[in-house]
Chain A
Amino acid sequence: MSEAAVNALIDIRGVSKSYLSGSVETPVLHGVDLRVERGDFVSIMGQSGSGKSTLMNILGCLDQASGGAYLLDGADTRTLDRAQLAAIRNRSIGFVFQSFNLIKRMSVAENVALPLIYAGIGRARAHARAVAELERVGLGEFARRTPSQLSGGQQQRVAIARALVTDAPLLLADEPTGNLDTHTSDDIMTGFQALNRERGITIVLVTHEADVAAYSRRLVRLKDGQVMYDGPAVEGLRQLAASHASRDGARP
């Protein structure tokens, strides 16, 4: 194994994915290659049906590829069983979803503590670490509330605290600002930037908004299940804007 392969946190080689709908096989991803080094901040953009959510699910070990290889931190995910995949999600990956996905019956602190509970940490210690993590995202005083008593932005910060509480090196965010207003989105994205810079957390997020992608360092654009662009975010977004402008300009 080369030096670079050891360093890559995410190493996807020729990954394809197709779904069976009835008897018809619908391909979604066609041989996607993607390497993400530690400490990178990547946005994945693409239109609906481009396969970006599917790619995200595979990256998060929520779903498995139909073909190709996915090495996460050097470990081949194809050889792992469901319990081992769960352990990887627990320890190595933090998830942030568009719809926050907090458990309504539980208090904010219990939501944040849940990954630690699944990691086998005792209630008291898990709770203490959850409260500490909530304080880092500025929500320490809301620990005892239920998610429904919080605003959307606050709920998303709780979700971020939950994603970070196990000290996972990788944060995966699927449209994290999709349900938030512009101002709150900016807050969340600034927070992501800080996490990436200050705590060295590798972030991969899926978005369809250029404004959100602009916070990242690198941009991957998908179209019809294939990588169209993979490079610096600034350059990619410029190209994207230009293509939109030319398309708009072409219209009468």
Chain B
Amino acid sequence: MNLIQVLIESLRSMAANRLRTALTMLGIVIGIASVVLLLAIGDSMQRFIGKELQMLGTNMLYVMPGGDRTAGQRAREGKVAALTLDDAEALNALPSLTGAAPALQGSFKLSAGNETLNSTVSGVTPAMFAIRNWQLAQGTMFGEADIRASARLVVIGQKVADQFFYRLDPLGRYLRIENVAFQVIGVLAGEGRQIDGTDLSELVLVPITAASANLVKTPFPQNVHYVAAQGRPDVALPDAIADIEDVLRSRHRIRLDDPDDFRIQNLSTFAETANKISAGVALLLGLIGAISLLVGGIGIMNIMLVSVTERTREIGIRMAIGARPGDVLLQFLAEAVVICLAGGLVGIAIAAAGAALITRLADFEVYLTLSAVIVACGFSTVVGIFFGFYPARRASRLLPVDCLRYE
């Protein structure tokens, strides 16, 4: 008996009991759908994190004012922790860094024409563009001369451009930030949420000096909110971090036993955290999938046992006309595998729909990879063989004379 014949008979037998087959499949469908979806989400997360890291630039470090202690504790000790433009300048000169760029950040009211929007505005220097690898879709970025002149210029993300200057050329137009007019000189290329929570297309970037003079309005115009630094690729990151600590501790005159008054955040730890979260999600979905597959497999075994009992007489007839025990085994095994595979295909379709839904609702691109589909088909087959074997073996061991006597 060849395989095609076995498959035809399996499909026919499934078609004879449509409802039962469908219900039997359900566990497998759910199991495979969650397994495939988990693989897709895991893959997508890996891809997303990889892309993010590439976009952020490698070896990114954030230096922030304030150490492990709270502002209150520091105030009691009579110390004010701050990072200044000069600190950034000193870090920028470090040989173990490709660069260090200071930044100010705040939420301000943007307006142009009738449009008004509250958004985060960052005051940066040209060095930040280099470190973060920001590219311009049109226009130019501001230069060192603009920084020195506190020029009221702004570079905006594409979403911001669309919002305020829909279908217009934004270059040369004015965007009002807290009612101060900033002239648009550039639009950033790219979009998408980045690992540090910012979205390229939502960025509003002004010269750090202009931000300090017109927006943040602090009594300490030298202070910055953070310094972004990038370690040299040929220098081990911990060494670069040690260099930064040395420079800042000496500049801030921190005594040997006193703690730092700044924090250095390594962005690769972000990536590690994100990886851990995605692994957790994958594990959860995998567990659901595994349990569903187990329950579904037991369902398959149960139904196959019922089917063997129901078709005892048919088994007897087949044996009488020449079916070998192996033929009977193969027939029932094939039926279990076909049910599982069909359930697997439905599960894959559901997972594909789920992935499309996540992509649409969650602003996070998920799609099924070929490997996920192959793994799912393999899983279905294994479940079918594993749980179909016992009933099929039972059928194959029946004696023809007993089967033919069975009513």
Contacts and interface: CB of A to CB of B under 8 A. Distances in A.
Given A62-B404, A105-B16, A114 B318 contact: yes
Contact of B327 (A57, A62, A95, A118): A118
Interface string A79-96: 000110011011100010
Contacts of A70: none
Nearest to B407: A99
A101 B324 CA distance: 18
Contacts of A120: 1-2
Nearest to B6: A117
A86 B323 contact: yes
A192 interface: no
Interface string A119-133: 110110000000000
Given A62-B404, A97-B404, A89 B5 contact: no
Contacts of A97: 404
Contact of A118 (B16, B313, B314, B321): B321
A99 to B, nearest CB: 9
A86 B319 contact: yes
Contacts of B325: 82-83, 86
A185 to B, nearest CB: 22
B401 interface: yes
B123 interface: no
A87 B404 contact: no
B359 to A, nearest CB: 44
B322 A90 contact: yes
Given A62-B400, A82-B325, A105-B13, A95 B320 contact: yes
Interface residues of B, number: 25
Interface string B367-407: 00000000000000000000000000000000111001000
B367 to A, nearest CB: 40
B5 A87 contact: no
Given A62-B404, A117-B5, A101 B317 contact: yes
Interface in B319-370: 319-327
Contacts of B314: 103
Nearest to B319: A86
B4 interface: yes
B326 A83 contact: yes
A16 interface: no
A123 B4 contact: yes
B321 A87 contact: no
B14 to A, nearest CB: 11
B1 A89 contact: no
A118 B12 contact: no
Contact of A89 (B2, B16, B322): B322
A118 B320 contact: no
Contacts of A105: 12-13, 16
Interface string B85-122: 00000000000000000000000000000000000000
A114 B401 contact: no
A86 B404 CA distance: 15
5 contacts: A63-B401, A83-B326, A86-B327, A89-B321, A89-B322
Interface of B: 1-2, 4-5, 12-13, 16, 313-314, 316-327, 399-401, 404
